[in-house]
């Protein structure tokens, strides 16, 4: 089965909604292991990051109920 950006975004949405928090490092590891490396890229700082299409779909799903905490590198539910 081929996964889509929306599949990954739905997983992220459920994780942050149920746990209240989703750390970027955990998300990246889980995405690589379960959805494939196609949804990860290396950003300008040399860190693994989540594909922009996934983040767009995730933002649409959470509709502002999840916020990115820049200093802690995680999304939090509010």
- Section 47-71 average pLDDT: 96
Q: What is the mean pLDDT of residues 19-43?
A: 97
Q: N- to C-terminal Cα distance for the chain? A: 33
Is there a contact between 9 and 61 (Cβ–Cβ < 8 Å)? yes
Q: What is the pLDDT of residue 1?
A: 74
Please determine, for residue 58, whether its predicted confidence score (pLDDT) is greater than 90. Answer: yes
The Cα–Cα gap between 34 and 21 comes to: 19
Domain boundaries, the chain: 5-64
pTM of structure = 0.94
**Residue-wise over 11-50: b if at least 16 C-beta within 10 A, else e?**
bbbebbeeeeebbbeebbeebeeebeeebbeeeeeeebbb
Are 56 and 12 a contacting pair, CB within 8 Å?
A: no
């Amino acid at each position: 089965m081929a996964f889509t950006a929306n599949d990954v975004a739905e997983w992220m949405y459920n994780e942050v909604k149920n746990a209240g928090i989703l750390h970027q490092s955990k998300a990246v590891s889980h995405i690589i292991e379960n959805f494939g490396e196609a949804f990860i890229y290396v950003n300008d700082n040399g860190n693994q990051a989540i594909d922009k299409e996934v983040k767009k779909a995730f933002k649409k799903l959470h509709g502002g109920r999840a916020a990115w905490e820049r200093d802690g590198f995680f999304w939090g539910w509010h």
